[in-house]
Structure 1
Amino acid sequence: MRNNYTKYKEEEFKKEELLAIAAANLELDDTRKEQMISAYKAVNDVFDKDEEFFKDYTVNVYAQGSLLIGTTIKPLPGQEFDLDIVLKLDDSYLNHTPKEIYDEVFRVLDNHGTYSPLLQKKNRCIRINYNSDFHMDILSGCKITSDSTRLMIPNDKTLMDWSRTDPKGYDAWFKNISEKHKSQFMLTERFVMLTEAKVETEDLPKDVYVKSPLQRTVQIIKRYRDLYYENKDLVKTPVISSIVLTTLLAQSYDEELSIQAALKNAMAKMKHLADDYKYKGIRFQVYNPIDLYPDKEKRENFTDSWTDKHYESYVGFVIDLERKVTTFLSNSTNEQNYKDLFGNGYYKQNIQTLVKLEESFKGNPQLAALLSGTAYTDSSGKINTSSGVKNGSHGFYAES
């Protein structure tokens, strides 16, 4: 397989792999994900067994947000992962009020011995505070039409009016953007090459070569978001929500083939919005990109509650983030610029993983042949250095 893009320097590939390894180690592990999936399936079972309000309806409980689109990150020490769940009643919203559904959801859970002591009423959702490192926020709603994934949810804490949303549609929108040109991603082609050369990768985090540059960019920026706001007064400096960041990053994504390029582009676009507010007083709005209601003012607006404090917080966050990202990408990686972007933890482990991978490259003659364009594929499909059809150069670690 011959690459279709510019040849990269060795340091660029090392940095790309380090970014992917770092982001993969920030992600929730499979055990945690399985616990969360089991948790919301158990909740679904509780509503299926209700003998009162819900007995006449089909209820679907499913994840939304980062768990759905593959951009989860572990919470910082002492903090919890926020598992966002939708409870969709398979009946028209025209037959119910938001408060009715909200109260019935609370009733069922409050009457259950396991969930009753864990419940907390929030503005639009009901939270289950598990005795672990995550909580579940259940947002209840009703279908709009039978042929659509859209649903109606409470508009605000008054629980009087409905508002449109579509978590499954958002997931499809994000993945469509994220997976364009997937076969050409720097690390996708890299993985194909490693597989051809039979380089051992089992010690790497499971999905280092699988996630898209957009998914990794979202994870990296969300991690720095958590670090930036960790010790701030969130009343004075409100945190930028994940849905706002994810939407901005997806809308800014320009089909970059590497994490480094995606990060640089994201910084440019985010800085432009920050400068517009800082110097011109222009308040950008972040609407749900799949809500195409003709009257834009009635579309789902992820920034509808933003005040001056939110925009000022965004400006400060972006200025700081841009400085850290630029320093990391423009210089040789060291412990300080790594920790400035990712925080403490995993630096030595990630560097050791990268070094081990590089060492396996050096001792692999098939890989060296693939890199230089002197490898052959024989009639049985095996890579070798002497006979068969000659393979094209991959261009990895090529001189600039």
Structure 2
Amino acid sequence: EWVNMKEISDIYCKKRRIEEIDNILSCLVEEIGLTEAMKEKAVRSYKAVGSVLDDSIPFELSIYPQGSLNLGTAIRPYTESDDYDIDLVCKMNGAIDISPKELKKMVGNVLLSHGVYAPKTTEGKRCWKMDYDGYHMDILPASDTDYEKSDYYGKSEIRITHTEDFLKYENRFSNPKGYKAWFLLQTRKNEIGHFSLNEKEIRASVETVPEYNKLSILQKVIQLLKRHRDIAFEGSEDCAPISVIISTLAARAYGGEQSISTALLTILTNMDQFIENREGIYWIANPVDSNENFADKWQLFPERKAAFYWWLEKARTDLAAFLAHRSGLPELFSSMESKFGERAVKRAATHYSASKRRSRESGNLLLDKNSGEVLAVGEGTGSLGKIPKHTFFGITECD
């Protein structure tokens, strides 16, 4: 039977290129994620503040992280003048009858009367913000609700407060624990099984910030999208799509792909399909509470909606150009700098080239002569031969 060797060669080269780009993007993710030192500083502050609140507020507290650090999607600041954040919930169990104003002020009074924390603390519409050197902490006062829903996510719903001009205090509702459980399920779309929070995690007093020893494909893609956003909106940060919108739409659009580049392509192609239009109002629903709209500001600030769609088209165009690049690695890395940042890309390039060199020099890259696959030592069942050492790192053999 006649075999079209050109088609086989094209498929092989495409697969090799995807693997090469995925490895490069993995190196980039390592460079844009928070360093261990950054995480440790934030976690120490989180635990210290949590301990002070736990000792000072006359309710049983549940203090736990929320936001990107809790989801494993936090990234380091793009510029030295920027900072990163850690968000925590201060939930007062049994404070159902406390008014929204008093609920918020109970947390603020502790912080503003503390000798160390008072100079760091300012009030926001929902949170108390504490500024540190290089990062900040947003503390969300909350209570449990006066009812329980039948589904799992509803059991972890909390009541929070919202203010307009610090005059009118309103009850709002949120579900950070439910959102985290939902998000982690999305990261495992390719796996069989179910994930849920356990009662111990729900009832802990001052919870620890989770450690992700190995990030999922979805977490890595969201980090890349957030870094692309930061660069695209440098100088106009107020219009930039907020992280929860990017994370929610990306998680919904993710199809369980096990390649970073193919997951990026799938997510950018489909993420806007999960934006609803409810009687003329653009709606990005909280997946664990469809009545909460993450895009609620789009109605008040239409320029933010326009900015999101502008960024999405730019990200699609930039990704297409990146995947279609056919020159060697120096040109490829150079093309990435405007999309993901010069310093991070240069560090990723150094990291990637060094890892390739070490693999070749240690003899850990082998060629399966039957399949044509490049394998690590011990993989495959075909006839293996060592790839000779060389000093040129490019992708031109498949161009």
TM-score under structure 2 length normalisation: 0.76
Structure 2 gap segments, 5+ residues each? 1-10, 193-210, 385-394
Distance 1:272 1:59, change over 3 A: closer
Q: Is the 8 A contact 2:274 2:284 kept in 1?
A: no
> What's the offset of the Cα at 1:16?
0.3
1:317 to partner: Cα distance: 1.3
- Provide the residue aligned with 1:137 in structure 2: 138
Pairing 1:125-204 to 2, within 5 Å after superposition: 125-130=127-132, 132-144=133-145, 148-157=155-164, 160-181=169-190
**Deviations 1:283-303 (Å, cap 9, x if unpaired)?**
5411110115xxxxxx11111
Structure 2 residue 50 is matched with structure 1 residue 58: no
CA shift, 1:282, in A, is 6.8
Counterpart residue identity of residue 102, structure 1: K
Aligned to 2:93: 90
Kindly indicate whether structure 1 or structure 2 has the higher relative contact order, using CA contacts under 8 Å at least 6 residues apart.
1
What's the % identity of the aligned pairs? 26
Pairwise CA distance, 1:136: 0.7
Give TM-score scaled by structure 1 length: 0.76
Q: In the TM superposition, what whole-angstrom CA distance separates every residue of 1:28-49 from its partner, at most 9, and x where no partner exists?
A: 0111111111111111111222
What residue in structure 2 maps to residue 49 of structure 1? 55
Counterpart contact for 1:328–1:341, Cα < 8 Å: no
Q: Deviations over 1:338-373 (max 9, x none)?
A: 112101203333222222222333345564167867
Partner of 1:315: 309
**Residues 213, 83 of structure 1: CA spacing in aligned structure 2 closer, same or farther, 3 A cutoff?**
same
- What do residues 44-93 of structure 1 show as CA deviations (whole Å, max 9, x unaligned)? 1112222xxx23x1112221111111001011211111221111111142
Match for residue 188 of structure 1? Answer: none
Question: Pick from 27, 48, 58: which aligns with 2:33?
Answer: 27
After TM superposition, give the deviation of residue 392 of structure 1 in Å. Answer: 6.7
User: What is the deviation of 1:156?
Assistant: 4.3
Q: Residues 366 and 339 (structure 1 numbering): CA distance in 2 closer, same or farther, change over 3 Å?
A: closer
Structure 1 partner of 2:267 = 266
Q: 1:288 aligns with which of 277, 286, 289?
A: 286
Matches of 1:261 and 1:14, distance apart in 2: 13
Structure 1: gaps spanning 5 or more residues: 1-5, 184-205, 293-298, 375-382
Alignment partner of 1:224 out of 223, 228, 233: 228
More strand by share: 2
Does the alignment pair 1:305 with 2:297? yes
AA at the equivalent of 1:171: K
- Read off the aligned partner of 2:344 and give its amino acid letter: Y
**Is the 1:252–1:265 Cα contact (8 Å) retained in structure 2?**
yes
Work out whether residues 126 and 138 of structure 1, in 8 Å CA contact, stay in contact via their aligned partners in 2.
yes
Q: How many residues align?
A: 340
Contact 1:373 1:391 in 2 (8 A): no
The whole-number CA distance in structure 2 between the counterparts of 1:392 and 1:61 is 55
Conserved 8 A contact 2:252-2:274: no
Output the CA distance in 2 between the equivalents of 1:125 and 1:369.
Answer: 56
Is the CA contact 1:143–1:150 (under 8 Å) kept in the aligned structure 2?
Answer: yes
Q: Which amino acid aligns with 2:187?
A: S
In structure 2, do the counterparts of structure 1 residues 283 and 160 end up closer, same or farther at CA, with 3 Å as the change threshold? closer
